C-alpha cells in the first residue's frame, strides 16, 4: 500500500500537496476572537474537568517530554532518553512517538525513513531502529510537504498516531511533544493516562519564563512533573577547563520557585550537532561521553519514577 493510500485509509483525509488547491475545511471558524473570549473559553474547558483517560492497549507507561520554548533540545532529550532506556534495560520494550505534527524531527534523529505499513488489524506498524519503536507524522508526509491543518485535524491525527498504531507490547512510550502549550498537550493529557512529564529548558530567561507556563499547564491538566532537564547549562573552555555560563545561571532558582528538581543538566557539546545530523543518538555515537553517561542516569531516574508510581498505585488499590 503506497503512502497516499495508507494515509487516506488510516487518517480519513489526504494531505493536499497541491499548493494551488485549498485544504478541505471540515468546520467553520471565526476569524477573530477577543482576548476575553479566549480566556473565557479556556476557563470553561478547564472547569469541565478531564474525561476518562483510556490506556493504550499493551502500553504500560507514558512519559511526555515537553518544553515551553523551541530550540532548547527537547527532541534531542526525548530521542536519547528512549534509546538510553533501551540500552540500560534491553529486555524492556520502548517506544518513541513524535507528537510534533507540524515540525517532526524524530525521523532525522533516529535515522528512520520509508512508508509505515498497515497490519492485518489495519493498525500502523511503527518503524524500529536502535531497538526503539518509532512513529512520526514525518514518516507519513514527504519531507518537503507542509502540514497545514486546523486544530481539529491535528487532534484527529494525534488520535491516529496513538490509538491506530500497533505499539504494544511496550513497557514505556516516550512522547516528544511540540514546544509551547496548545492543542497537542491538551489532547494528549485529556485522552491518555500520562504517568509524568519531563520539562526541558535552557538557562535563558526567555526560556525559563515560558517553562513556568508549561509547568502551570501540566498542573491544571493534572499531569505530574517528573523533573526538569537543563540543556546548555554551561560551556567548558577546552584550554583551561573553566565553566562559562554563557546563557545565564537562573535555572536552579526558577526550579526551586516551582518546587521542581533539576534531575539532569547537560553542558554545551559541539559533538551533539553531529549526532543529530547523522541520525545516531549520542548514547550510541558517543557511548563513553559525559552526555551519554548522563542520558543513562536520566533513563535510570525515569525508570525509578515509574517504579515508584506503580507501587503507589498498587498500594492505593489495596
pLDDT per residue as tens digits for the range 97-117 = 999 988 899 999 999 998 899
Q: In this model, does residue 147 exceed pLDDT 80?
A: no
C-alpha cell at 21: 488547491
Q: Judge whether 260 lies within some domain.
A: yes
Q: Judge whether 52 lies within some domain.
A: no
pLDDT of the residue at 6? 55
Are 143 and 163 spatial neighbours (Cβ–Cβ below 8 Å)? no
Instruction: Give percent of the chain above pLDDT 90.
Output: 60
Q: Judge whether 66 lies within some domain.
A: yes
The listed range with the strongest mean pLDDT (15-29, 231-245, 263-277, 285-299) is: 285-299
- DSSP characters over 66-91: E-SSTTSSHHHHHHHHHHHHHHH-TT
Nearest CA among 65, 105, 67 for reference residue 207: 67
- DSSP characters over 173-225: EEEEPPSSSSHHHHHHHHHS---EEEEEE-SSHHHHHHHHHHHHHHHHTT--E
pLDDT of the residue at 48? 60
CATH of the domain at 88: 3.40.50.300
Q: Judge whether 36 lies within some domain.
A: no
Which residue range is the domain that position 114 belongs to? Answer: 3-11+58-317
What's the pLDDT band for 66 if we cut at 50, 70, 90? very high
Q: Judge whether 200 lies within some domain.
A: yes
Are 59 and 167 spatial neighbours (Cβ–Cβ below 8 Å)? yes
Are 181 and 213 spatial neighbours (Cβ–Cβ below 8 Å)? yes
Q: Judge whether 32 lies within some domain.
A: no
pLDDT per residue as tens digits for the range 7-55 = 555 454 444 444 444 444 444 444 556 767 766 666 666 556 556 789 9
Query: How many structural domains compose the chain?
Result: 1
pTM for the model: 0.83
Alpha carbon 105 to its chain's center? 11
3-state secondary structure of 96: strand
What's the pLDDT band for 245 if we cut at 50, 70, 90? confident
Q: Judge whether 114 lies within some domain.
A: yes
The residue with cell 511540540 is 178
Amino acid at each position: 500500500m503506497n503512502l497516499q493510500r495508507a494515509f487516506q485509509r488510516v487518517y480519513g483525509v489526504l494531505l493536499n500537496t497541491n499548493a494551488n488547491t485549498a485544504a478541505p475545511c471540515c468546520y467553520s471558524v471565526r476569524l477573530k476572537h477577543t482576548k476575553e473570549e479566549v480566556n473565557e473559553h479556556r476557563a470553561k474547558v478547564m472547569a469541565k474537568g478531564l474525561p476518562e483517560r483510556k490506556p493504550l492497549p499493551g502500553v504500560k507507561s507514558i512519559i511526555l517530554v515537553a518544553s515551553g520554548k523551541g530550540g532548547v533540545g527537547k527532541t534531542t532529550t526525548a530521542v536519547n532518553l528512549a534509546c538510553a532506556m533501551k540500552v540500560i534495560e534491553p529486555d524492556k520494550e520502548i517506544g518513541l512517538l513524535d507528537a510534533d505534527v507540524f515540525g517532526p524531527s524524530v525521523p532525522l534523529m533516529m535515522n528512520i525513513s520509508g512508508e509505515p505499513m498497515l497490519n492485518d488489524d489495519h493498525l500502523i506498524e511503527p518503524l524500529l531502529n536502535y531497538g526503539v519503536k518509532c512513529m512520526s507524522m514525518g514518516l507519513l508526509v514527504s519531507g518537503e510537504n507542509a502540514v497545514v491543518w486546523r486544530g481539529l485535524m491535528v487532534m484527529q491525527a494525534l488520535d491516529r498516531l496513538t490509538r491506530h498504531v500497533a505499539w504494544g507490547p511496550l513497557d514505556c512510550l516516550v512522547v516528544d511533544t511540540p514546544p509551547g502549550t496548545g492543542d497537542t498537550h491538551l489532547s494528549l493529557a485529556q485522552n491518555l493516562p500520562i504517568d509524568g512529564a519531563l520539562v526541558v529548558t535552557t538557562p535563558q530567561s526567555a526560556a525559563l519564563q515560558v517553562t513556568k507556563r508549561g509547568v502551570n499547564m501540566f498542573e491544571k491538566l493534572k499531569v505530574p512533573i517528573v523533573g526538569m532537564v537543563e540543556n546548555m547549562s554551561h560551556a567548558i573552555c577546552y584550554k583551561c577547563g573553566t565553566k562559562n555560563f554563557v546563557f545565564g545561571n537562573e535555572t536552579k532558582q526558577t526550579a526551586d520557585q516551582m518546587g521542581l528538581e533539576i534531575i539532569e543538566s547537560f553542558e554545551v557539546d559541539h559533538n551533539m550537532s553531529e549526532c543529530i545530523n547523522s541520525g545516531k543518538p549520542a548514547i550510541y555515537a558517543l557511548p563513553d561521553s559525559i552526555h551519554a553517561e548522563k542520558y543513562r542516569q536520566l533513563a535510570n531516574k525515569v525508570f525509578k519514577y515509574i517504579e515508584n508510581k506503580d507501587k503507589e498505585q498498587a498500594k492505593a488499590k489495596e
